[in-house]
Amino acid sequence: MTRDERVLGVAGLVLFLLALLQGFFIPLFGNVDAAKAAHATALGSGTFLIAVGLLWPKLAFGVRAASLWGAALATSLYSIAIGLTIGAMYPADAAQAHAFTATVSSVFDALGGMVLIAAIIAVLLACRTGD
């Protein structure tokens, strides 16, 4: 098992376990529905990272590119989970009172989404050239 595979697997496992822990605290969030969505997203993202870690040797990346894209993929999924969790902390009707929190949540989600799209495109290109 290479270092990149191990890092992606551990990052996925940690995100999955944090999502399980988050599930216990869903009733304490201000917006319970958003907290459930953040919980489900983090569970799925952790599982996805574990799966990508297992498939990583099948992708045709160079050594440096593999580390870069692996880090980008893990960072983007963590960023999305953090953004959704921050957004669930306050009730939906209190969004105006907590504009800063809503802005931070949106920034995490947007950056995570952009990096995730770039990472997925790179993985798809690597799969295509690997055949």
Give the whole-angstrom CA distance, residue 108 versus residue 58: 30
**Domain span at 121:** 3-130
Instruction: With a cut of 50, say whether residue 131 has pLDDT above it.
Output: no
Residue entry with tokens 């822990």:
21
Q: Which residue has the higher pLDDT, 90 or 30?
A: 30
Give the whole-angstrom CA distance, residue 84 versus residue 109: 7
Please indicate, yes or no, whether the overall pTM of this predicted structure exceeds 0.85.
no
Which class for 72: exposed (0-12), middle (13-18), buried (19 or more C-beta within 10 A)? middle
Tally the domains of the chain: 1
Residue entry with tokens 């949106």:
106
Residue entry with tokens 């798809």:
124
Cβ atoms within 10 Å of 96's Cβ, excluding its own:
7
HSE toward the beta carbon, residue 114, CA cutoff 13 A: 5
Quick: pLDDT tens for 49-107: 999 999 888 876 777 778 888 888 888 889 888 888 888 887 766 655 566 666 666 66
Return phi, psi of residue 40, to 5°.
-65, -40
Work out the percent of the chain whose per-residue pLDDT is above 70. 76
Return phi, psi of residue 7, to 5°.
-65, -45
Cβ-Cβ contacts under 8 Å for 82 (sequence gap 6 or more): 108, 112
* Residues 47, 12 contacting (CB under 8 angstroms): yes
